[in-house]
Amino acid sequence: MSKLIIDDREIEVSPGTKVIEAAAQLGIMIPRFCYHPALGSVGACRVCAVKFIQGPFKGVQMSCMIDAQDGMVVSTTDEDVADFRRHVIEWLMLHHPHDCPVCDEGGHCLLQDMTVSGGHGIRRYLGKKRTYTDQFLGPLLQHEMNRCIHCYRCSRFYQEYSGYRDLGAMQSANRTYFGRFTDGILESPFSGNLSDICPTGVYTDKPSRYFGRRWDYQRSPSLCINCSLGCHTVASIKYREVKRQEARFSEPVNGYFICDRGRYGFFYSSLESRPRMARINGKQCTFNQAQHAMIEKLEEIKKNSGSAAIAAVGSLRSSLETLVMLAQLCQTKRWRDPACFIDSSQVQNVKTAISRLEPQLRVSLRDIERADFILAVGADPINEAPMLALAMRQAQRNGATIVVIDPRPVSLPFPFLYLPAAPMALSAYLGSLIKAVVNRGTADKMGDGARKFYDRIPEGKKLAEAQPPLSSEMLQSLQQSRRPIIVCGTEILSETVLSLSADFALLLQAAEKQAGLFYLMPGANAFAGGILSGEKDSFLQIIEQIEDGSIRALISVEADPFWWFDDRPRLERALDKIDLLVVLDYLDSQAAQRANIFIPTATFYESGGMLINQEGRVQVAPRALLGGIPISQAGGGDHPPRLYDVGIAGFDPKAAWLTLADLANGAAQEDEKALQQHLWKQISDLIPQLATFSSIDEIPQEGIVCSCGVNIDSRFSINWSAASNIRHDSGDDFDLIEVDWTFGTEELSSLSPCLWKLERKPCLVMHSGRAEIIGLTDVDLVEISTETGSLEAELRTADNMAPGILVLPRHRKLAWQIFTPGKIRIRKDQIRKKQ
């Protein structure tokens, strides 16, 4: 530790801490433009100057460039440095336009703050200002280069930090220009962060342009529900709508940044098409009417067909409150247990992941940045959880080797070693990796189970058949690594691979490595869904039971099976068959449109609540706004109508769990506080780690990592003979895998108009060699026919993928729901070129 004095106050900091950071720990904000904790120091802007009075350095120096050391005495307020900084700011302001009153950054502009606080009040420069031509950078960011002060934060973030290569610094000196080679949409799915890190208004948020100053917004901490990582955001609300979202710092989760899917994925919450009124058989009615009708109808069905004829579907985008209340409702009413997952393999995968996330194994996104070896198995970070890719990029920049074993053509913004492996071959690869880096003695240390597990790893021949083989580079860097992490997706793998990854991580720990395990999950609250679901609770099971007549009523809570169920005609037939479909949602989903009774619910912004991310971290977001129809819609661009009415128009929706509580109690409940307390009790019973808190408000900002569901008995229990049974790729048919893309496949962000232009054209992806054999080429229009229907899409071919695989994005523009749920095999004669 180094002890130093800054502005007459002593502070002790860890070695390697820069003086600017040491001061920050004392609450002293030294001015900065180029310095950013995530980007590090470059000493370019010269505005963080301080005076070193005693110690190894003397005089005016840049505080971002010097490590805090013992015996330093530093002044940030000395007359010399204040004068120095005032002059630096004056230089930086030479060409800066006087457009603060019309600039969107005005009010939260670092340059504005520094100019005022630095004491540069009157402009002395009378010459002609340098001007630039701005570029079109896509629908998310507005470019205004004249405001630039050349701090290089944008190009450093864009190229060095996130690894994209289409925005940078051109020209030199006073003419330096930050932009692209030509106008065009920025390629990085992290581009929105430029508006956060630019210290002035060169990049401003385009969708919320000219809508308000920062102080006009109600700014509220929130959480992202567009993937399972649970990144922290700040929601900015004005005139009853979420208008902008920014990254909120979180040490263990997202750091300083968020991805564009999360940043711009909020538009669903204030769409004009969002249903604000309850409906009975498509006709609008009051909230109470719908609620009465729902209670009545359900009673009727219970009387005629028994409680077990009622089933409920939960959703992975619902809050923990809603999921817990739904589970409780089903229990007290003796309905079927709610299903949150599509089929049994999905629920089993998530449950396996939860049971294997032992406290000593699980790691956060921050730990991933510090890893020196990352093995990603069946995970496509940039498409499934973009911020994971950004964390892996940091590890790679620090010298980590990244190995990706996946059937898909994975692309990442950094170099990595890639093995195109069929999902069936993944356990074989993991087996040979274990054999290569862990010896029997190490396995023995973990006990009998581990030794037997190790001994049963099939030797030689079978593993050798896994093609292509592991390279010596992969093995060597894993052997030499100190902090290896295994990243594992839960979407396209079998639970065996998930288990095996955890066993592998355990063995690596036994081999004295600080190994970690990181799972991705299929939704924002999949972890909670997994805890609350039984092994067999799946939507497919509900469909089967509707088909055999045992289920007569379905309640769908914030879930739209039309979005994710594989077989659309079968779903429609099933829904036609039941007596009652109740839908609670904030989206105008297809299920909502078909509902006999529809009850609007509040979005996560309007209800707040808890989410459990894929790491098991229970996080809380407060309510960010009350709700109601946005003024822009109520007033049609003008002042909203003056209605003599109580309440706010469109204020009907309430949190889904409240409606469910009413349903559980048979009538509308008045005392929301009491309900909340009751629910909190339920939740803290479910998650023991929460028992130390008396209410939701006490949960710390970085959340509480829970380990409910962990089962150490499931260690080393996989069945090798089944796992190593590699199906030989006959070359005649394909395993279809349905995948996520960064944009266009996720339910909520697909409703953001500004993201539509960023979507890639939906396409099927096939190995180029295989395509050639069946007479198809790149960009052919193809048709896939099944018993259920047909799907038309463009075919793209790729060399870097497993040959026996056909990749299908669940894209909003494709009517892809024509398959039988479960493992989908497509024969080559089912694929045909369209003329």
Q: Under the rule (CB under 8 A), what is the footprint of other proteins? A: 165-172, 177, 180-182
Rounded to whole angstroms, the Cα distance separating 205 from 176 reads: 22
* Alpha-carbon span 156 to 167, nearest angstrom: 10
Distance CA 409, CA 419 (A): 10
Nearest-angstrom CA–CA distance, 278 and 276? 7
Classify 597 as helix, strand or coil.
strand
Shortest Å distance, C-beta 131 to other proteins: 16
Question: What is the C-alpha separation between 580 and 551, in angstroms, rounded?
Answer: 10
Minimum distance from residue 168 beta carbon to other proteins (Å): 5
Structural tokens at position 196? 């956060």
Facing residues of 617 across strands? Answer: 705
Where does 352-437 show beta strands of DSSP type E? 373-377, 401-406, 417-420
**Distance in angstroms (rounded) separating the CA atoms of residues 148 and 113:** 15
Q: Least distance in Å: CB of 184 to other proteins?
A: 10
Decide whether 133 or 695 has the Cβ nearer to other proteins. Answer: 133
Min separation Cβ 182 and other proteins, Å: 8
Least distance to other proteins from the beta carbon of 452, Å? 48
Identity at 24, one-letter amino acid code:
A
Least distance from other proteins to the Cβ atom of residue 186, Å:
11
For residues 152 and 373, which CB has a smaller minimum distance to other proteins in the complex? Answer: 152
- Read off the tokens for 365: 């996104």
Residue (170 or 722) nearer to other proteins, CB: 170
Which of 182/730 has CB closer to other proteins?
182
Q: How far is the CB of 371 from other proteins (least distance, A)?
A: 26
Cα dihedral sign, 209-212-214-219? negative
Instruction: Measure the CA–CA gap between 100 and 300, rounded to whole angstroms.
Output: 64
Asked, as a colleague might, if the bond just before 622 is cis with ω within 30 of 0, I would say no
C-alpha to C-alpha distance for 716 and 506, rounded to whole angstroms: 9
Which C-beta is closer to other proteins: that of 158 or that of 565? 158
Question: What type of residue sits at position 574?
Answer: A
Q: How far apart are the first and last CA of the chain?
A: 72
Which is closer to other proteins, CB of 172 or CB of 835?
A: 172
CB of 172 to other proteins, least distance (A): 5
Residue 488 half-sphere exposure toward CB, CA atoms < 13 A: 35
- Residue number, 166 or 794, with CB nearest to other proteins: 166
Q: Which of 335, 770, 270, 816 is nearest to 557 (CA)?
A: 335
Residue 179 or 628 having the CB closest to other proteins: 179
Residue closer to other proteins by CB (options 171, 790) is 171
Q: How far is the CB of 157 from other proteins (least distance, A)?
A: 15
CA separation for the pair 573, 559 (Å, rounded): 18
Beta strands 401-406 and 417-420 are parallel
Task: Give the nearer residue to other proteins in terms of CB position, either 473 or 772.
Answer: 473
φ/ψ (deg, to 5) at 354: -65, -45
Q: Which is nearer to other proteins, 171 or 360 (CB)?
A: 171
CB of 175 to other proteins, least distance (A): 8
Question: CB of residue 126 vs other proteins: minimum separation in angstroms?
Answer: 22
- Which CB sits closer to other proteins, 182 or 835? 182
CA atoms within 13 A on the CB side of 632: 12
* Min dist. Cβ of residue 181 to other proteins (A): 4
* Beta-carbon count within 10 A of 183 CB: 13
Q: Is 52 helix (H, G, I), strand (E, B) or coil?
A: strand
